[in-house]
Chain A
Amino acid sequence: MRTKRLVAMVVALLLTGSACTGGDGDSQDGGITLRFQSLAWQEESIDVNKELVKEWNAAHPDVKVEYVQGSWDSVHDQLLTSFEGGEAPDIIHDASDDLADFAYGGYLADLRDLLPERLKSDIPQRSWETVTFGDGVYGVPFLQEPRVLIANAEWLRESGVRIPTPEKPWSWDEFRAITDELGGGDEDGDGKYGVAWPLKEPVSATLNLSLSTGGQLFHRGSDGKVRIRFGAGDEVVPRTIHDQVNTDGSASSSTLGSGGSDTLPGFFGGKYAMVPLGFSFRQQIVQQAPKGFEWQVLPAPAGADGLTQGVSPQTLSVAEDSPHKEEAAAFIDFLLQPRNMVRLALGDWMLPTGTGALRDPALRVEEDGWAIGTALARYLRSAPAQSVRGYPEWKDKVATPAFQEYYSGAIGLGELRERLVGDGNLVLARYQR
């Protein structure tokens, strides 16, 4: 009797979840339905995206957009499978450093003839470079975040150090001297440090910051092949971090393997005067900082090339298989109208790429460091490694362990150079035969 009941329950459950496959892009009333897979994940950001979809649907009854919640976790594998299976969303939210394989694989539509002139001219060329692969443009870069220094304002004020601004930033040497002055960690006996570098992902952080000192690392020759050279410009940032940790003791060695969030308790607890973090981390700081904790946003140190930094913006692309590319591009254009781009930027605590949006007063307030971030926008460039084939393997097998060992003091600058260049070029060569 009990068994029969159990079987009946299972059958009922299975029937409840009976198949119901998705549409093919055309709704029953003859209109078009586009699927927009968004990777928004913060409450405000999800709300803004859904509101914008609702506004579009109200204004375009014949072209309905269906909001699909995606996630950053495993997005590459999920998209690859969807592309291969012919089930990709029409409009795809991703990041520019994830697009190369999809662009070269023919999965994404070339947007050059699909986007209106307004949008093309609103976003600067340096941002378009992040989504240009070969001759085509395969996404619209719309949100980006520089790496900034989040500082304990009270600590800095009491120490009397010069506060940097986008107009007069610290040099890398000055930064090193100031962190040494602010806290020498265990050498001072108080366990307080001038800076905590969260370098769980040491490669992208180092390479992107090294643009400020003229570090390119990847050099494309006249034959079109990319080779690695580790010159004087590439040394400054890694050497500064290494010396802060191993020579001055002004940077905590325990955070080298941490993510940004892991350093926040120590920052709030007064262990670190500064933490270099992505601009969007301000949202977590606003949420989690103890009452009365004073913090401020400072520009990252500048080098021979000023405040230049590498970034991989968030992007919106159109699937090559989408039967409604024009409509999908029109929706992207709507989503990225200056006023809408501002809403998206505020929701994600990031900077918009559009020049129109960047002029918005909401992004120029002093509160929460918005004005500092906005002032840095014009210095942001395409991350140096973005168009290098074989970069992921080089990063995982060569660069990450080499940087980790160098920052922890296990190897010197000579061996770091040897491994990045010698082993690195062997890896890249396999992708460029």
Chain B
Amino acid sequence: MKTRKSARAGQYLALLAYLVFLAFPFLWLISTAFKPPRELGSLHPTWIPKDPTLANFRQAFDEQPLLDAALNSLIAAVGAAVIAVLIATPMAYVMARHRTRLARAATGWVVVSQAFPFVLVIIPLFLVLKNLRLINSVPGLIMVYVVWALPFALWMLVGYVRAVPTELEEAAAVDGAGKLRTLVSITAPLLAPGIVATALFAFISAWNEFFFALVLLKTPEKQTLPVVLTHFLGAEGVADLGPLAAAAFLATLPSLVVFAIIQKRITGGMLAGAVKS
């Protein structure tokens, strides 16, 4: 009993340490965003700014089109997440339920394709999009993000589909439900946590992506947040730290909000009791 309690305490302690480790950069970012320049150069930095200021936010908004960039990022990320999930869900179902040699090969290819570096594909991709007249457009960027997120989304969802017992679908068939009805009414609701998790992955990947956006978007009004954030950086990594921190803090918020809204949907245990074993 005592051993179990101390083990539990150790677990909580480890979890707390991990949380602190994760939270530190973000809290420091918030602190930096509200500091005036003279406090940024202090040898003895403080968590709470002595003279908190909104000047960094004002400068960030004055210098760069942050709102336009945020809207572009939102469109790209939501679009990529929705389309990736819409395509990946039926594909994952087929790959999970029909274990043919082709499906196995496809799964293998999906895993291998994750190893391709961005730089390897960027020029051919650029040329393809140019021919489609999708350079410098958010839909073009969404297309790239969907293609980029699809393999991992597929891989994630296959696992979720396999976790849904086939007995449930068989029972629905016995009750007279057709294939489509079974999918929509039985399987899809049970896949909801997986779909949400996959959508979240696709959203955050697109929201944070920098390189494709940098290369594919030419005009300022089309650029996304990660690209606009680099405008606060000079040569050799010199940074305009205050406005950069302010803009980065604002850029982090939507991801946090989206995660906060849908994280409660990513819960296990939805299948508990569905099948008597």
Question: A residues engaging B (CB < 8 A)?
Answer: 10, 13-14, 16-22, 35, 39, 41-43, 46, 66, 68-69, 71-74, 77-78, 80-82, 84-87, 89, 95, 200-201, 259-261, 264-266, 268-271, 278, 280-281, 284, 287-291, 314
**Additional A-B contact list (7), CB under 8 Å, known A46-B63, A265-B41, A291-B38:** A17-B137, A19-B138, A77-B214, A86-B130, A260-B238, A270-B43, A288-B40
Chain B nearest CB, measured from A347 CB (Å): 12
Q: Once the chains bind, are B137 and A289 in contact (CB under 8 Å)?
A: no
User: Which of A74, A264, A268 meets B211, CB within 8 Å?
Assistant: A74
Q: Which residues of B contact A (CB under 8 A)?
A: 37-38, 40-45, 59, 62-64, 71-72, 74-76, 78-79, 82, 119, 122-123, 126-127, 130, 133-140, 142, 210-211, 214-215, 218-220, 222-223, 227, 230-241
How many Å lie between the Cα of A280 and that of B159 in the bound state?
A: 54
Q: Which are the 7 A-B pairs with shortest beta-carbon distances?
A: A269-B43, A288-B41, A17-B138, A19-B137, A71-B230, A17-B75, A85-B126
Residues of chain B with a CB closer than 8 A to A291's CB: 38
Which one of A14, A87, A259 contacts B135 once the chains associate, using CB atoms below 8 Å? A87
Complex Cα distance, B69 from A130, in Å, reads 36
A77, B214: Cα distance in complex, Å: 9
User: Could you tell me if A13 and B237 are in contact, using CB atoms closer than 8 angstroms?
Assistant: no
When the two chains form their complex, are residues A81 and B231 in contact, meaning their CB atoms are under 8 A apart? Answer: no
Cβ–Cβ contact A259 & B75, under 8 A: no
- Tally A-B pairs: CB < 8 A: 155
Contact assessment for A84 and B127 in the assembled complex, using a CB-CB cutoff below 8 Å: yes
Contact B135 A69 (CB under 8 A): no
Task: List 20 contacting pairs A-B, 8 Å CB cutoff, sorted by A.
Answer: A14-B79, A17-B75, A17-B76, A17-B137, A19-B138, A43-B240, A46-B63, A68-B218, A72-B233, A72-B235, A73-B230, A74-B214, A74-B230, A77-B214, A85-B126, A85-B135, A259-B238, A260-B236, A265-B45, A278-B236
Which chain A residues lie closer than 8 Å to B119 at the CB level?
77
A87, B214: Cα distance in complex, Å? 13
Closest B residue by C-beta to A10: B82
CA distance A87 to B133 in the complex (A): 12
Chain A hits for B130, CB < 8 A: 85-87
Q: Which residues of B contact A265 (CB under 8 A)?
A: 41-43, 45
Contact A19–B214 (Cβ < 8 Å): no
Nearest-neighbour CB distance to chain A for B81, whole angstroms, equals 9
Instruction: Tell me the interface secondary structure of chain B in the complex.
Output: helix
Contact (Cβ within 8 A) B137 A20? yes
In angstroms, Cα B24 to Cα A102, docked, is: 42
**Nearest opposing residue in chain B for A71, CB measure:** B230
Q: A17-B76, A71-B227, A265-B42 are in contact. Are A41 and B136 (CB under 8 A)?
A: no
User: How far, in whole Å, are A19 and B79 apart by their CA atoms in the complex?
Assistant: 14
- B236 touching A201, Cβ below 8 Å: yes
**Which residues of the other chain, A, contact B44 by a CB distance below 8 angstroms?**
269
With A10-B79, A22-B219, A68-B219 as given contacts, are A269 and B126 in contact (CB-CB < 8 Å)?
no
Return chain B residues, CB-CB under 8 Å to A278: 236
Q: Which of B122, B136, B223 contacts A20 (CB 8 A)?
A: B136
Query: Which of B75, B126, B138, B218 has the largest number of chain A CB atoms within 10 A?
Result: B218
Chain A residues whose CB sits within 8 angstroms of the CB of B62 once the complex forms: 43
A13→B76 CA distance, assembly (Å)? 9
Say which residue of B59, B140, B215, B230 sits within 8 Å of A82 (CB atoms).
B215
Closest B residue to A43 by beta carbon equals B63
